[in-house]
Structure 1
Amino acid sequence: MIRVRLANQRGHAQHGWLDSHHSFSFANYYDPNYMGFSDLRVINDDWVAPGSGFDTHGHRDMEIITYVLEGTIAHRDTMNNVSQLKAGEVQVMSAGSGVMHSEYNASQSERLNFLQIWVLPNVAGVEPSYAQQDFSALSGINRIVSPDGSEGSLAIRQDASLYQVRLEQEAQSFTTAKDRLYYLQVAHGELSVNGVTMSAGDGAYIAEEDRLSFETATSVDALLFELRGH
């Protein structure tokens, strides 16, 4: 089963400095039919104006993954992390017992585009943590986030994995795991998965597919979530 939700069906918020599309209910956008999928709670496709950003604010008990598509994020938090993330870099922040942070567009002339992803944790109230890594040199299908941080991936506190799907005029396949659910988010380009065509901004709920066959005639950047079945 592959069920696509088109990009223009997502929630939308326009704040002047921020243009955001919500795959699931978030802030003022609420739809009881789209409250998340398994432990995946939020995918926000954010465009931030030059020199603008999110002032210092707090989170707790959430695994927050940031995937930069265009531009550079300037990050600062109460764990004493001061960093920048460029396109192709990924940040994981386990908010745990509580953390404050800010995120700004580091450029005064170019827009910033990133996906901010929230995954529900499997433990509450633990010490917060932070990590980032550059995956821009990878091609094909690679696991970039996992429960244990194995094989060079970043670790989160949940039985979930995130795969980067980056293909260039090619086809590749992915063998799914039994009793797992999958969610595919296309960031750039067009992609066919098991014969179903998807474009940038589209998402797909995937279940009971033994294998996923990906194909693109141009180039594509997408994220594949492997989640617990319920």
Structure 2
Amino acid sequence: MREIIFDTETTGVNPAGGDRIVEIGCIEMINRVETGREYHAYFHPERSMPSEAEAVHGLSDRFLSDKPLFKDKAQELIDFLGDAPMVAHNAGFDFGFLNRELALCGRDPICLTRMVCTLVIARTRHPGAKHSLDALCSRFGVDRSQRVKHGALLDAQLLAQVYIELTGGRQIGLGLVADVSSDSVAAAAPVDRPLRPARPHFASDEEITRHRAFIARLKQPLWERFLTAA
């Protein structure tokens, strides 16, 4: 199964009030394994960057001044996303911004049925614990030493590891499940051979005698009661 783990950085918290996406980072996973395919882009927000937001992600007006507009990269992003489920931490926030940007450039919104929220999963699995991305990285031993400030691609990479741990661990994606297609079943069908009689699984008289001799050397052996009953 193909999934997209993604994160966004923005100018604020209110897309309806004029805040915009300035960065998006996406990681492709197939059968819970990262494929190495990524999508990463910065966008000019067509507005100034509030100092509070810049303090979070470090993206300044000067840095973003020569970056493309979201509408100029929209099709490229849509092509990468495809129709895969999309995983984000506090996914309602990221979906709200993403669909707002798509609406501004006349594109169809991404259906919310594709949304997978790791914050909801974490609250369900670990009620009462801390559920920030940093806290979950600490819980699962994910190295976040490079995370000095928020960054969409780095955060998506960290979230991909957290998501795997939240949903059962790495072993689920190792491909250990047998192929049960009709072709594989036919290929694995046993060759005709004579049936062998069932092998007995009870102790013989000789084995019981030898065992009695062994436990006779023990002090108050537990097994004696079972041999007596036998």
TM > 0.5 fold call? no
**Greater C-alpha Rg:** 2
Q: Greater strand percent: which structure? A: 1
TM (norm. structure 1) is 0.26
TM-score, normalised on structure 2?
Answer: 0.26
